[in-house]
Structures are given as structure tokens and as C-alpha cells.
Amino acid sequence: MPSKKNEPAGKIRAGIGGWTFEPWRGVFYPEGLPHAKELEYASHHLATIEVNGTYYRTQKPSTFASWAKESPDNFVFSLKGPRYTTNRRVLAEAGESISRFIDSGITELGSKLGPLLWQFAPTKKFDAADFGAFLDLLPSKVGSHRLQHVVEPRHPSFCTPEFVELVRKKSVAIVYADHATYPAIADITSDFVYARLQTGDDSIPTAYKPKALDQWAERAKAWATGDTPKDLPIIDKSAKLAPSPRDVFVFFIHEGKVRAPAAAMAFQKRVSPADKVGKPSA
């Protein structure tokens, strides 16, 4: 499934979930690195980070501003939407929670503001009317900032063309989940692709074996040039999409996650060997 050479392609970014994890000290982070320097270090060795903290609590504008200052110019943060927004029986009633998150200061990240991830509980079943109402609540922009939204359903009832068509109409991406039990939906529904690779093994130095990393790299290159990898499951097989370059986000987030940074860095070398991941901020 190799991508064609010289085709226009989007940017492929590999990263991890969060940057505070004690077992990374001495494995990813150098011994003795101050905790306050962990984001600076991680963001200069990775291209993106999926922030978990925004899922659990509201952050201050000054916090987002400090993250932007500590990270390099070409770095991008993905932010998880609050659990209070997605862990509710009626999603159509999430408007106030969504607004509170959007208005919490996320634009302080500036150009480093990436996708907003809305993650749903494995028990949350697909209800077309209610989920459609939720999508209607997601703003396409805040101020002059265009917002990118991605949803992560984790119940098999979402494996239906009706769901795919619903989110495609809103240009919202669907997480491709490499997971033991969560549904795998590789349908392209937006102008970017978002994959969460969650079957890594910490007994392997790079969490995934080299052959598996090669395979994921080729899939990412296909996504970036506008193709759909032929070996991943498509739900809405009737859709005909014109190929178009897309940015691609690939996060290594397996359960133990000790080797996740090594996996992301090994993967990044495969997709953009000439790139320097981190550049000092101005």
C-alpha cells in the first residue's frame, strides 16, 4: 500500500498522550530532568501531544499560554473535551459544557491548537438524532481560529453508514482506533485523519515491532496523500471521495505506555526522516 512519490501530502505528526508519567523518567526523560521541564523536552522530541488534563478539569487561559510558550513553533496540541460533556445520557444537552470548554482559553495556544477530541464511554450507544444534535453544538471556529473536531465512539453500534454520513456532513473526523475491543472505523469524514494506536507492548523497545511500524507508516502516508488504506475496515462502502491531501495525527497510547515515546519517535522517522521535530519558539 505504498504512497505515490511526488504527490502533494499533508503533514504527518506522531505523538503520545500527556507528558507527565513517572515511569518515563530515566526511559524517555533524562535522569534528573526537572518536572517543570518535561513539556519542553517532550515537545522538542515529538510532533504532537494529546492532552488528557482537559478531560478531567477546566484549565486556565494562562495555562494554555504557558504550554504554547514552552513548546516549539511547529508543535501541535490535541485537547480532549471534558468528560462532563460526553459522559451524559442526553448529548443534545451538552451545549453549556461545550461552550465553557471552548471559552476556557484554548485559543491561547495560537497556531499550536490542534484537534479537539470528544471521547465517549464504551457503553454509549449510537442514537442518530441525539448524536446529530451534539454535532450541531460543535462550533466551527472561535474568534479567528478554525476548530477541528474528532469523535471517538467506543460502542459497536456506531459501525453503521448512518453514523459515518452524519459526521461527514459536519466535516468531523472519526478516531481510527487500533484497540482490542473498540470499533475500528477507517472512513474518512474530514480534512484530517486521527489515529490512536493502543495495542503496543512495553516488552518491545518501540512498543510495536519494526514491521508493524513500517505498516502504520505506509498507512499514514496513504492518508496524507488523500488515499484510504485498503487493509483497514470501511463502514460506508458506497461513499466516493475525491483524493485530497490531509494532515494526519497518530498517537501511541497503549495501556502501559512506557515505550510510547519511543514508538512515536521511531514512527516519525519513518514518515518524515528529514524533518527536525522541534524548533525553538520565538
In a domain, 117, yes or no: yes
Is the pTM above the cut of 0.75?
yes
The whole-angstrom distance between residue 210's C-alpha and the CA centroid of its chain comes to 22
H helix intervals, the chain? 38-43, 53-56, 61-70, 83-86, 95-102, 128-137, 161-169, 210-224, 260-271
Q: How far is it, in rounded angstroms, from Cα 56 to Cα 84?
A: 8
Q: What does 206-220 look like in DSSP terms, one character per residue?
A: TSS-HHHHHHHHHHH
Strands (E), the chain: 12-17, 48-51, 76-80, 113-119, 141-142, 145-146, 149-152, 173-174, 176-178, 192-197, 247-252
In a domain, 64, yes or no: yes
In a domain, 86, yes or no: yes
Number of domains in the chain: 1
In a domain, 212, yes or no: yes
For residue 80, give the CATH number of its domain. 3.20.20.410
In a domain, 281, yes or no: no
In a domain, 220, yes or no: yes
* Residue-level pLDDT at 7: 66
* Residue-level pLDDT at 63: 98
153 touches 126 (CB < 8 A): yes
pLDDT of the chain, 282 residues: tens digit per residue: 444 555 678 999 999 999 999 999 999 999 999 999 999 999 999 999 999 999 999 999 999 999 999 999 999 999 999 999 999 999 999 999 999 999 999 999 999 999 999 999 999 999 999 999 999 999 999 988 999 999 999 999 999 999 999 999 999 999 999 999 999 999 999 999 999 999 999 999 999 999 999 999 999 999 999 999 999 999 999 988 888 999 999 999 998 899 999 999 999 999 987 665 554 443
79: nearest Cα among 41, 108, 106: 106
Return the amino acid letter for 130: D
In a domain, 78, yes or no: yes
* Residue-level pLDDT at 231: 96
Half-sphere exposure of 178 toward its Cβ, with a 13 Å CA cutoff?
Answer: 22
150: nearest Cα among 176, 111, 183, 124: 176
Parent domain of 177: 12-271
In a domain, 280, yes or no: no
